[in-house]
Structure 1
Amino acid sequence: MEFSNKSKLLIVDDSAFMRKLISDFFVGNLKIEVIGTARNGKDAINKIQQLKPDVVTMDVEMPEMNGLDALKEIMEKCPVPVIMLSSTTISGAENTLNAMENGAVDFVAKPSGTISLDLHKIKEELVHKVEQAAHVSVAKLKKPISYKTTSTKFANDTTIRKETTPMKSSTTTNRFNKDILASLSKNQWSNTSRKIVLIGTSTGGPRALQEVITKLPKTIKAPILIVQHMPPGFTKSLAERLNQLSKIDVKEAEHGDILQDGKAYIAPGGSHLKLKKQNTHFQIVLDQNEPPRSGHRPAVDVMFENVSKFNDFDKIAVIMTGMGYDGSKGLIALKQNGKTIAIAESAETCIVYGMPKAAVETQLVDEVVDVDDIAQTILKYLP
């Protein structure tokens, strides 16, 4: 009975050393019990059917059947939340993005190639992601991109799920936040002033971004800044993939880039994304010196807080699927300075309803919408 309340984990890796190392990470864990290991994709499919795990960690690169092929079959035959372990090579990054498109919850980058002797560096991240993934709805992972569920809702009608620890908020804070919203309604939103779109997301973000960015027209009258929690190396592949699929231009942001309407800039892993005014133009500043915020660099809070200092733009701030509460503090800064419309992804379509939930709890969110309606909601506020 000792393990009855624990989530069951299956570890899939072709290296016996890696299987042992990952298993050791969960010794004494109060939430997760390792119930087995598998040495390749075929072995994994058999073990999943036999052992019925709640969550799986799976290496991307394996002989006989690799992680990507195995994942496709798993999501078809015996769906379960899967965390991929990936190398940081270009092909590794592309395979990882393919895996997330095919239903993987998230991934962890190995610090040094296929057999990482220094895997302990990512122990905390891997354990945390496995604990969270065990509670993710498999039905959401299986849905193809561009699915349709419920309609737009008002912020305060959204359902609250127990999927993450909420950001603490006091009655005083909420009263203060309502005052901010009231002052915004007095300063009516104008379609004539300059606009900027700010998007923050984490777990489940690549799929959500694909859903939103591919629906924006090339003629959109605003630049788009994106923070997706990802390590260095993966954001470039994400930008290239979105660029191929979208009408707008999408690129990994570079230091000194001049903001242009109809262009999306993704913060590179390892750098905070900020702006600097240069005459009438705005330039991107990549900051690797400011420490991570809540464990993240780039952080949504840092981007929101920085952009809040510029009253040249009205802001449309979007917070989508992800663990934790990154973006909520930054949202308060945006709402205090100038005009901001805040949009949060609904609990119904989030892979993890953490960051949007924390944003909604500030009582500063104007609209809560399903992921497939976010692009249309953004466009509603643009000229």
Structure 2
Amino acid sequence: MKKIRVLIVDDSAFMRKLITDFLQEEESIEVIGTARNGQDGLKKIELLNPDVVTMDVEMPIMNGLEALKEIMRKYPRPVIMLSSTTKEGTDNTIKSLQYGAFDFIAKPSGAISLDLFKIKEQLKEKVKLAVTANFKNKQILVRNEKNIPHQIKEYSKIDTYSEKSTTYSEEKRLKDKIVCIGTSTGGPRALQHVLPKLPKDIDAPIFIVQHMPPGFTNSLANRLNSMSFITVKEAENGEIVKKGTAYIAPGGSHMHVIQTGTSLVIKVDKSEIRNGHRPSVDVMFESISQLKNYYKVAVIMTGMGSDGTEGLKRLKTTGIVDAISESEQTAVVYGMPKSAYATQLVDKVEHVEDIAASIMNFIKK
């Protein structure tokens, strides 16, 4: 069996040694070289042609973010970023995901993490997953936060579900509306394709679960907010929901949506981990399934595993719901969308760049 050839880029000799030792415990992984900074890393990539690169975000001479841009421009391949949870570290990590990094891992205790063993298994799994990632037809999105988003498309008024009864359509128009989105690996870039294309006056709130550890979702929300017409924010416990706002579940916490009188209210908690995830798409979808008199659009995008599938089933059996899954062609990891599609409950399969238009077609019907 061909081994996965990995290059490790980190300015700390101690960290390079630890990561090398961890990865080489796996028979399927071979560490073929190390580099001390981004500049050194670029030379080693050209020389050694690794399958996967692990790269520290914060390094001297050339940091991980600058090196990543060059890798994606000259030698595109899966890059896994290792990040601290400082404000600068989390902001740069979110940028790296939107510049083309495959995924990231949070260092347990800063730049030099003596307890790096805590993320050892996670690191091995992400390296193995990275070589299966879909890097075909990926456009690297390098945007300035102040850029004005692309002009909103004219959404088709064609009823793609004309075979459904008039009663169904009229009942749907009478209801308040909710959009709920679940995503994981590759999600930050996928969300960057979707949220900036939604109009400010969208007649619905948007709820999002993106699998992330604590400390990173606020940076993700701020970055997406800077490029969107709608407001994008990290969800807060107890806040009253507003239309035209996207709420991202805080990393490490579940997000529930409950009805209080005529208002929807967000509940955030650290209840039991579901299917290895907190936040969990299933938990969010199941809470939304309990809301009566709402028409719902559910979206499942790129990610490993099946989170969101059971929640989609609950949504479909308890209310009026249209479901969208991301296509295999554009999903970085075609796990969660594939699992959802296999239920035969998905109404539309869309390339990521067309998901916003599909959401608006459903909302406006």
> Same fold, TM exceeding 0.5?
yes
SS of aligned partner of 2:181 = strand
Distance 1:347 1:86 in 2: 29
Distance 2:6 2:166 in 1: 53
SS of aligned partner of 2:136 = helix
Partner of 2:195: 213
Q: Where does structure 2 lack aligned partners over 5 or more consecutive residues?
A: 143-148, 151-163
Partner of 1:299: 280
Partner of 1:320: 301
| Partner residue of 2:40 out of 34, 43, 60 | 43
Distance 1:342 1:185 in 2: 18
Distance 1:89 1:229 in 2: 19
Shift of 1:369: 0.2
SS of aligned partner of 1:217 = coil
User: What aligned pairs does 1:230-249 form with structure 2 within 5 A after superposition?
Assistant: 230-249=212-231
Shift of 1:185: 7.1
Partner of 2:182: 200
SS of aligned partner of 2:173 = coil
SS of aligned partner of 1:307 = helix
Distance 2:165 2:96 in 1: 43
Distance verdict in 2 for CA 1:228–1:135, change over 3 Å:
same
Shift of 1:141: 4.3
Distance 2:214 2:181 in 1: 19
2:343 partner letter: T
Partner of 2:154: none
Partner of 1:152: none
Distance 2:56 2:215 in 1: 18
Distance 2:46 2:167 in 1: 58
State yes or no: 1:338 paired with 2:335.
no
User: What aligned pairs does 1:73-88 form with structure 2 within 5 A after superposition?
Assistant: 73-88=70-85
1:331 partner letter: L
Is 1:191–1:381's contact at 8 Å kept on the other side of the alignment?
no
Tell me the TM-score normalised to structure 1 length. Answer: 0.86
Distance 2:72 2:139 in 1: 7
Shift of 1:305: 1.0
Is 1:105–1:141's contact at 8 Å kept on the other side of the alignment?
no
Is 1:104–1:141's contact at 8 Å kept on the other side of the alignment?
no
Is 1:75–1:142's contact at 8 Å kept on the other side of the alignment?
no
Shift of 1:186: 9.2
1:333 partner letter: R
Partner of 1:65: 62
2:240 partner letter: I
Partner of 1:257: 239
State yes or no: 1:329 paired with 2:326.
no
Partner of 2:92: 95
The share of aligned pairs that are identical, in percent, is: 59
After superposition, give the CA deviation of every residue in 1:20-49 in whole Å (9 maximum; x if it has no partner): 111111233133221111111111111111
Shift of 1:142: 4.3
Distance verdict in 2 for CA 1:7–1:141, change over 3 Å:
farther
After superposition, give the CA deviation of every residue in 1:75-101 in whole Å (9 maximum; x if it has no partner): 112221100000101111111111112
2:192 partner letter: Q
Shift of 1:143: 4.0
| Partner residue of 1:188 out of 155, 158, 168 | 168
Shift of 1:108: 0.5
Query: Which fold has the larger relative contact order, with Cα–Cα distance below 8 Å and residues 6 or more apart in sequence?
Result: 1
Partner of 2:136: 139
Shift of 1:192: 2.3
State yes or no: 1:375 paired with 2:365.
no
Mean Cα displacement is larger for which, 25-34 or 245-254?
25-34
Distance verdict in 2 for CA 1:81–1:248, change over 3 Å:
same
Shift of 1:372: 0.8
Shift of 1:14: 0.8
After superposition, give the CA deviation of every residue in 1:281-334 in whole Å (9 maximum; x if it has no partner): 11000011x221121110001101111111231110000111111111111111
Partner of 2:340: 359
Q: Where does structure 1 lack aligned partners over 5 or more consecutive residues?
A: 148-183
SS of aligned partner of 1:188 = helix
Distance 1:66 1:322 in 2: 27
Is 1:274–1:303's contact at 8 Å kept on the other side of the alignment?
yes
Mean Cα displacement is larger for which, 184-193 or 46-55?
184-193
Distance 1:54 1:244 in 2: 33
Is 2:134–2:331's contact at 8 Å kept on the other side of the alignment?
no
Is 2:138–2:330's contact at 8 Å kept on the other side of the alignment?
no
Distance 2:7 2:83 in 1: 17
After superposition, give the CA deviation of every residue in 1:100-155 in whole Å (9 maximum; x if it has no partner): 121111111111110001111111221111111122233344444899xxxxxxxx
SS of aligned partner of 1:334 = helix
Count, aligned residues: 344
Tell me the TM-score normalised to structure 2 length. Answer: 0.90
Is 1:59–1:84's contact at 8 Å kept on the other side of the alignment?
yes
1:18 partner letter: M
Shift of 1:67: 0.7
1:356 partner letter: P
SS of aligned partner of 1:329 = helix
